[in-house]
Structure 1
Amino acid sequence: MDLLRMRWRDVVFAHWRVDAPTVAAQLPDGLDVATHDGDAWLGVVGFVMSGIRPRGVPAGRSFPELNLRTYVTGPNGDRGVYFFSLDAADRLGVSIARGAFRLPYFSAEMRHTREDDGSMTLRSRRTHADAAPARFDASYRQAGETFAPEPGSLEAFLTENYRFYTAGSRLYAGDISHPRWSIAEATATIRSNTLFPASGFDAPDAEPTVHYAPGIDVTAGGLGPVTQ
């Protein structure tokens, strides 16, 4: 059953290739690294969470969000996303997500702006008590026509994921639903990114693969334990 409805707007996907064993060392028991052509990927995904609300509620909350994630396979062979961190500029939303969805959300000071030239800027500084400090500061813009990722392509691997995993005393999974992504190639100027070391990874030393999506409507269901 769908519990939440929302729109993700002005989405930037910035992804870096990472050796699979490096990612595997940071995963909880029960999850395996998913790879594309032998490579694991770490992604920084930022967007504006617009109108997030429980089902049946006409108006919701809006705020910037930023996550560091990778791609995994669960015990039953189901592909999904594993989040190392999620920063959001909404204390209430962070509290609810940490409690109800067991996700590693952190409060942050964030600002998302659209510039006159069509580019967007996203700045984030984690402020959560007792959390590793993390900053992100980048500008990005669409650099081509939008398209639907082809099944089996790298673009589909990085974007078309409809399950997320999280771990506490045991492994849990939740599902989301939305239309297929419509994305475009993009450019990004990243001035600061300390999300990697804040989650135990070396800072990236290469340019990322960047995509942009104007927006998508999303529904999310509840969380349930995964049988291993």
Structure 2
Amino acid sequence: MFDRRWLEMTWRDGLFVHWPVEPEVVAGRLPEGLSVATHDGDAYLGIVPFVMADIRPRGSPIGRSFPELNLRTYVDGPNGRGVYFFNLDAADPIGVAVARRLFALPYYRARMTVDRDDDAVRFASDRTHRGVPRATFDATYEPFGAPFTPEPGSLAAFLVENYRFYADGRRLYCGEIGHDPWTLRDASVDLRTNTLFDANGFDRPDGEPLVHAAEPLAVTADRIRRV
């Protein structure tokens, strides 16, 4: 963990679904000051559904919980390696409004349902935010195999062990997060509907994705700061 803990939360029911793409696919979509981060020459586009549980200011006894769905890539920036989001859809109008105002992030309102059946999770999302392309997502995922912590330098670590994000407001911003290393399991996913690539102007990547399910994780977040 790190010292600046403005927000506290727990991330649950997390899934990481990643496709390798040529770096040029995302390079032209990044703001000035960021460059594509690669692993063995590949850039990655990732879709991450999860539940943001008990999110609250530090010391507050009351928190909010809601599902979230994002499309992301990985970048090198002035403050180091981080995540760049193309969208973050969430089923909480208040949370979306606050995040758009305070974090300069592309949060959008959506209707979402999360249903659990033992280890299996069904996550469905339908964007309702006005003025942006509609996006839908419907998938069921289930972990299998033994839990593991990604080895430093591995592809899994490159994809999940990221402790900052960049946002493109009127200028470039950076936010820091803190948490213990992820505990992952391999996972299967039945991806019935996914229009996030279309909604963000990407062609759908070829090939099968790399899929990981995540154990619940306590997370802290700092205020966003200008770079």
Shorter-chain TM-score bucket reads: over 0.9
Distance 2:106 2:125 in 1: 16
Deviation digits for residues 134-181 of structure 1 (CA, Å, limit 9, x no counterpart): 001000000111111000000000000000000122110000000011
Q: Secondary structure, in 3 states, of the residue corresponding to 2:208?
A: coil
Q: Match of 2:155? A: 154
Q: Structure 2: which 5+ residue stretches go unaligned?
A: none
Shift of 1:58: 1.4
**Which residue in 2 is equivalent to 1:135?**
136
Q: Is 1:205 matched with 2:206?
A: yes
Alignment-derived partner of residue 116 in structure 2: 114
Deviation per CA, 1:66-119: give whole Å up to 9, x if none: 00000000035x000000000000000000000000000000000011024x21
Equivalent position of 1:172 in the other structure:
173
Residue segments in structure 1 that go unaligned for 5+ positions in a row? none
Identity %: 58
CA distance in 2, matches of 1:65, 1:168: 21
Deviation at 1:197, TM superposition (A): 1.2
Structure 1 runs (4+) deviating above 6 angstroms are none
Equivalent residue, structure 2, for 1:31: 34
Letter in 2 for 1:216: L
The letter of the residue matching 2:38 is T
Segment drifting more, 12-21 vs 196-205: 196-205
Alpha-carbon distance, 1:59 to partner: 2.2
Write the mapping of 1:39-188 to structure 2, written as runs, cut at 5 A. Answer: 39-76=42-79, 78-116=80-118, 118-188=119-189
TM-score normalised by the chain length of structure 1? 0.96
**How far off its partner does 1:191 sit?**
0.5
State the AA in 1 paired with 2:208. Answer: E
Paired residue for 2:218? Answer: 217
The Cα of 1:204 is off from its aligned counterpart by 2.9
Supply the distance in 2 between the matched residues of 1:206 and 1:193 (Cα, whole angstroms): 15
Q: Which secondary structure does the structure 1 equivalent of 2:198 belong to? A: helix
* More displaced 10-residue stretch of structure 1: 201-210 or 88-97: 201-210
Q: Confirm or deny: 8 A CA contact 2:20 2:205 kept in the other structure.
A: no
What is the alpha-carbon root mean square deviation over aligned residues?
0.9
Deviation at 1:195, TM superposition (A): 0.5
CA contact (8 A) 2:147 2:183 kept: yes
- What's the offset of the Cα at 1:131? 1.2
For residues 10 and 147 of structure 1, the distance between their equivalents in structure 2, rounded to whole angstroms, comes to: 16
Question: Number of paired residues?
Answer: 224
Q: TM-score normalised to the size of structure 2?
A: 0.97
Cα distance in 1 for partners of 2:62, 2:143 equals 29
How far apart are the structure 2 equivalents of 1:101 and 1:115? 34
* Counterpart-to-counterpart distance in 1, 2:225 and 2:141: 36
SS in structure 1 of the partner of residue 145 of structure 2: coil
- SS of the residue 1:92 aligns to: helix
